[in-house]
Amino acid sequence: MELLRSRRFIGIILILLGLIALPYWASRYWILLVLLFSLNLALSQMWNLLAGYSGLISLGQQAFIGLGGYALAVFSVYYGFPIWLSIILGGTVSVLFALLISAPIFRMRGVYFAIGTWTVAETLRILFSNWKYVGYGMGLFVKPTYALSFNTIYFTALGAGVASVALVYFLLRSKLGLGLMAIRDEETASETLGVDIFRCKLCCFLISAGVTGAVSGVMYLHHIFIQPYSAFGIDWTVQMVFITIIGGIGTIEGPIIGSFLYVFLHQWLSEYPNVSLLILGSIAIGAILIAPKGIMGTVQEKLGFEFLSPRRK
């Protein structure tokens, strides 16, 4: 077991070193792919934390994508704040907004929670597209003055992806993770064992909002423009759902596998723009029918193999 663990540890280090060294040997195309992979990973890992571990099926993660992106634009362009500070502020704004909406939104359960979160994001979209300060529906320039090097953006994205996996891993092995798993298995019993359900779920909601907001800032570093119809569009969440379901919801490795597949499918399908969504949709439906637990979920069930296990001994 010790040997296995150290081998696994070395494996992880090697992969990470390979990814860190990527800009020095790979083509720009490959760097871009890994960049997209990392960002998708971070975002879908946060959706996985909500839906897979807390039972909160949110369809409104785009609210935090939009807030994070706009925060980057407003703080760095309007106020001249440093870019990194603006990204962190984007996360902070997202957490505060999540806190604000948590009181009404947590009264809803299941599918109502999904619709509720979606509605909140739609409201933001309409609000932002009618708000002069952020340029109405036209949107804002994200980085007219400072341009970061492509490599810097790459390293930031990679960091975000790795950090999101580590965050969920350690979170699940903490007291919060124990409570979440208990709630997922038996809500009533968990309560009579002292687990404060509302607090556990709120905690996840806030963490997920904060990280999504900040990661969105990193993502918009390599965009030129932000405008409300795309920033607050549900496509973001659909993408996270696709990645998590294909990879395996409720597993830490799921979003890793899912993001990998998604990025490649996306590249490949861009050659067939008129049927690409159709194919992605069919794959998702197929996965749900054949392997409802996703790739990693099925592998774990059949082989008992867990690469990053949240189990505690």
Partner 1 sequence: MPEILAIKNLTKTFGNLTAVDSLSFDVQKGEILGMMGPNGAGKTTVFNLITGVYKPDSGKIIYEETDITHLSAAHRCRLGIGRTYQIPRPFENMTVFENLLVGAEYGANLKGREARQEATEILDFTGLLPKKDLFAGKLPLLDRKRLELSRALATKPRLLLIDEVAAGLTEVEIENLLQIVKAIQQRGITIIWVEHIMMMMNKGVDRLLVISGGKTLMCGDPKECMESKEVQEVYLGVEEG
List of residues contacting partner 1 (CB under 8 A): 175, 178-179, 181-182, 184-186, 188-197, 311-313
Cα–Cα distance for residue pair 162/22, rounded to 1 Å: 15
Cα–Cα distance for residue pair 33/31, rounded to 1 Å: 5
> Of the two residues 235 and 301, which places its CB atom closer to partner 1 in the complex?
301
> Of the two residues 1 and 25, which places its CB atom closer to partner 1 in the complex?
1
Least distance in angstroms from the C-beta of 177 to partner 1: 10
Cα–Cα distance for residue pair 172/209, rounded to 1 Å: 17
> Of the two residues 168 and 240, which places its CB atom closer to partner 1 in the complex?
168
> Of the two residues 132 and 311, which places its CB atom closer to partner 1 in the complex?
311
Least distance in angstroms from the C-beta of 279 to partner 1: 33
> Of the two residues 196 and 235, which places its CB atom closer to partner 1 in the complex?
196
> Of the two residues 182 and 256, which places its CB atom closer to partner 1 in the complex?
182
**Residue type, position 285, single letter:** I
* Cα dist from 200 to 49, 214, 252, whole Å: 12, 22, 18
Cα–Cα distance for residue pair 58/237, rounded to 1 Å: 8
User: Is the Cβ–Cβ distance between 269 and 280 less than 8 Å?
Assistant: yes
Least distance in angstroms from the C-beta of 11 to partner 1: 25
Which residues, in sequence order, are bridge partners of residue 141?
Answer: 225
Task: Take residue 191 and report the two structure tokens written for it.
Answer: 């309560």
Cβ neighbours of residue 115 under 8 Å, at least 6 residues apart?
A: 59, 108
Least distance in angstroms from the C-beta of 313 to partner 1: 7
Cα–Cα distance for residue pair 120/100, rounded to 1 Å: 11
